[in-house]
């Protein structure tokens, strides 16, 4: 008789409010042979809250490849394992990918136990067009890399979403304002499911003022949602050779915003096509 193999359960846990966990997730965490967790101390608080006393092993970024081999061996020996991260859905800007990949490669079964995910919670309450959307994870940490990152996405006409930390949210908005139009709609979904949950939708320039002037808007955890660029009629999207020459010259010396403003002022042209052209030239 062949021995039965175990299954890997990828279990979503709360993103703040401890009540945001499914019955199935609690049952799974109780019934598996062991729990592989990003931070063993962190998950123990959750387990304690739900009266779960189960064996927990560490699975963090630095031991993932080794842990993946061990987890596959354990599954083969018939043990079932739950994979959890510190908050929300594992693998979403969290550890777990090498493990899930290795389990697939070993032809073993992966079962998702669904639940909280900050980006999905944010999108569900944002009131912006969602289909399709792009999830960018965490954006770059340095200002110049962030500006490049934002300018590469400035002309995308669909919604994009990213995670940001409280230490960088203000600088991040400043960099966004340097390359995106002031009127672009931004949603900040902050402290979701927690006491100070805040969901605000504002044009970029107003969002920057709000976050700059309200210290509470620089605290906690953030999902940032950026509405896509307005689609422009191609016939309107043409700039003259003169505008192009001036714009290109100014782009070698100034920010996109400044170069566009000056080109509009010098040539009397329409801002939208000049801005659109600036993004294209800047990304070449």
Site for ligand SAM, rule CB under 6 A: 15-16, 85, 87-89, 92-94, 117-119, 163-165, 189-194, 221-223
- CB-CB contact of 38 with 85 (8 Å): yes
Collapsing DSSP to helix, strand or coil, 261 comes out as helix
**For residues 147 and 190, which CB has a smaller minimum distance to ligand SAM in the complex?**
190
**For residues 89 and 151, which CB has a smaller minimum distance to ligand SAM in the complex?**
89
Q: Which residue of this chain has its Cβ atom nearest to ligand SAM in the complex?
A: 88
**For residues 15 and 26, which CB has a smaller minimum distance to ligand SAM in the complex?**
15
Q: In what order do the strands lie in the sheet with 56-58?
A: 56-58, 34-37, 81-84, 7-11, 109-113
* Closest distance to ligand SAM from the beta carbon of 17 (Å): 8
**For residues 219 and 272, which CB has a smaller minimum distance to ligand SAM in the complex?**
219
**For residues 22 and 93, which CB has a smaller minimum distance to ligand SAM in the complex?**
93
* Closest distance to ligand SAM from the beta carbon of 177 (Å): 20
**For residues 67 and 246, which CB has a smaller minimum distance to ligand SAM in the complex?**
67
∠ CA(39), CA(41), CA(44), 5° rounding?
110
Spatial separation of the C-alpha atoms in residues 237 and 239, rounded to whole Å: 7
- CB-CB contact of 135 with 158 (8 Å): no
Which of 132, 128, 149 shows the shortest CA–CA distance to 140?
A: 149
* Closest distance to ligand SAM from the beta carbon of 241 (Å): 45
Diameter of the chain measured on Cα atoms: 83
**For residues 5 and 193, which CB has a smaller minimum distance to ligand SAM in the complex?**
193
Does a cis peptide bond (omega within 30 degrees of 0) precede residue 132? yes
What's the first-to-final CA gap in the chain, in angstroms? 63
**For residues 32 and 123, which CB has a smaller minimum distance to ligand SAM in the complex?**
123
* Closest distance to ligand SAM from the beta carbon of 42 (Å): 12
* Closest distance to ligand SAM from the beta carbon of 211 (Å): 14
* Closest distance to ligand SAM from the beta carbon of 120 (Å): 8
* Closest distance to ligand SAM from the beta carbon of 21 (Å): 13
Neighbours of 234 (CB within 10 A): 8
* Closest distance to ligand SAM from the beta carbon of 1 (Å): 40
Q: Cβ contacts of residue 171 below 8 Å, gap of 6+?
A: 143, 146
- CB-CB contact of 129 with 227 (8 Å): yes
H or E element in which residue 124 lies:
helix 118-124
């Amino acid at each position: 008789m062949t021995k039965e193999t175990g299954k890997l359960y990828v279990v979503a846990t709360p993103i703040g409010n401890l009540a945001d966990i499914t019955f199935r997730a609690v049952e799974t965490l109780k019934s598996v042979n062991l729990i592989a967790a990003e931070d063993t101390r962190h998950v123990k608080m959750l387990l304690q809250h739900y009266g779960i006393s189960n064996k927990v092993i560490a699975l963090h970024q630095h031991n993932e490849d080794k842990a993946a081999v061990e987890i596959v061996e354990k599954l083969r020996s018939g043990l079932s394992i739950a994979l959890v991260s510190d908050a929300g859905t594992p693998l979403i800007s969290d550890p777990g990918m090498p493990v899930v990949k290795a389990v697939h490669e070993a032809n073993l079964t992966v079962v998702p136990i669904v639940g909280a995910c900050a980006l999905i919670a944010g999108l569900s309450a944002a009131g912006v067009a969602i289909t399709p959307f792009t999830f960018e994870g965490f954006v770059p940490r340095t200002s110049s890399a962030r500006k490049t990152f934002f300018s590469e996405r400035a002309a995308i006409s669909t919604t994009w979403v990213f995670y940001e930390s409280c230490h960088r949210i203000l600088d991040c908005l400043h960099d966004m304002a340097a390359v995106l139009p002031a009127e672009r709609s931004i949603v900040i979904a902050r402290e979701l499911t927690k006491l100070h949950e805040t969901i605000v939708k504002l044009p970029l320039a107003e969002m920057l003022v709000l976050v700059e002037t309200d210290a509470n808007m620089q605290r906690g955890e953030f999902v940032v949602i950026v509405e896509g660029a307005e689609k422009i009629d191609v016939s309107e999207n043409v700039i003259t050779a003169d505008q192009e020459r001036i714009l290109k010259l100014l782009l070698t010396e100034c920010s996109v915003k400044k170069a566009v403003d000056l080109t509009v002022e010098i040539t009397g042209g329409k801002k939208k096509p000049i801005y659109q052209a600036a993004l294209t030239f800047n990304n070449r």
